[in-house]
Amino acid sequence: MYFKHLKIASIALLASQFLAFSVQALSLDKLSLPAGYHISVFADSVKNARQMAVSEHGIVFVGSRDAGLVHALVDKDGDGKAETVLKIAEGLNMPSGLVIHKGDLYVAEVSRILKYADIEKNYTQLPKPTVVIDDLPSEKHHGWKYIDFGPDGWLYVPIGAPCNICETNGGEQFDNPLFASILRFNITTGEKQWVAKGVRNSVGFDWHPQSHQFWFSDNGRDMMGDDIPPCELNAVEHMGQHFGYPYFHAGTIRDPEFGKDKKMADYVAPKLNLMAHVAPLGIHFYQGHMFAPNMQNRLFVAEHGSWNRSQKSGYRVMMATVVDGEVTSYEPFIEGWLESDNTAWGRPAAITSLADGSLLIADDFANVIYRVTYQAP
């Protein structure tokens, strides 16, 4: 597939610049996948692509972080490539996360949640949204969101810490208990509840298909060196549990600034500690019927990639096997966006499935949506 030449926009907080590149030269053959799996481009020119939501009839809606855009991708002939990439909203405040619920599209800005009613019928008309939630914190640092409706019918919304490391409940600079947490909202009554506290910056979560246990990724703090603290995969056993931030990281690492006089036993340890700075974003339990049977209920993890590690880490899609609520293996699914010379040409950010069981992966660096299919070798 041929792509338009583009220049890579600077990434917030990025210490070292990535080189501009022509996506026409982007070689998918550099990517390695397990035998039988194939990756192609579902849609290009999807600026700063982040979370995706698939409508009943297969229209893929895509949020963005820095671009302020929401796109609709239409594969009318069903050949696995979107012929139409339509901008349906612009000028929004970091609309990274979105979800379709009962036919309506919900879009998360930094401080509010919007609803675009009956989106399949109205998306070509540049629809006007209504505001569902409008009292979230307005700080942009870690303010972009990933949202979804749970099996319980509540809307789950993470609120990142407005800093690299700080206290946000009674802290000197920030004093708002909503920071560094994951909440759920009853959109009918307006009630909100804490799902998890002590969560630095979660930009991806999902529910186990069998147990319905809530799993989420979390990005570890910066400025403690190349190798600590790890990023995390976590699971909630009881509503409102505290996962350690800013006092303990990865279950056992006491924070040098805020961990004094705190007890490790007071906080929930991760289900899995990942490599430091890999920046896990979207996670997705696979429930489709295209992939090999051993992929059923696997947890796919988009490791977006480090921004300030001397030897870059991440830039890949991983897969975790979860058995009885524990991670029994964690291994690569797709690698190759990170080159041997410590440069990268892609950054996986979010994952979802199409009705046919193929996997979609959003890349907010190459401005593209990939599609992964399987045929038994």
Task: Report the distance separating Cα 307 and Cα 276, nearest Å.
Answer: 11
**Tokens standing for 63?**
């949020």
DSSP state of 266: G
Nearest to 22 by CA among 43, 41, 7, 44: 7
- Domains in the chain with CATH codes: 23-374 (2.120.10.30)
Q: Which tens digit of pLDDT belongs to each residue from 101-153?
A: 999 999 999 999 999 999 999 999 878 999 999 999 999 999 999 999 999 99
Rounded-to-integer distance, Cα 347 and Cα 363, Å:
5
pTM for the whole thing? 0.92
pLDDT beneath 50: ranges in the chain: 1-24
Q: What is the pLDDT of residue 26?
A: 65
Number of H helices, E strands in the chain: 1, 27
For 275, the 3-state DSSP assignment is strand
Q: H or E segment at 317?
A: strand 316-323
Instruction: State the pLDDT at residue 7.
Output: 29
Q: Name residue 283's amino acid.
A: I
User: Tell me, what's the pLDDT at 158?
Assistant: 98
Query: Percent helix, strand, coil in the chain (nearest 5)?
Result: 5, 40, 55
Tokens 């991708």 -> residue:
73
357/374 Cα distance (integer angstroms) = 9
Instruction: Give one word for 153, left, alpha or beta, with left for phi > 0 and alpha for psi -120 to 50.
Output: left
**Residue 312: C-alpha distances to residues 9, 99, 300, 344, 364 (Å):** 19, 31, 21, 9, 17
In 142-204, the DSSP E strands lie at 148-149, 155-159, 181-185, 192-197
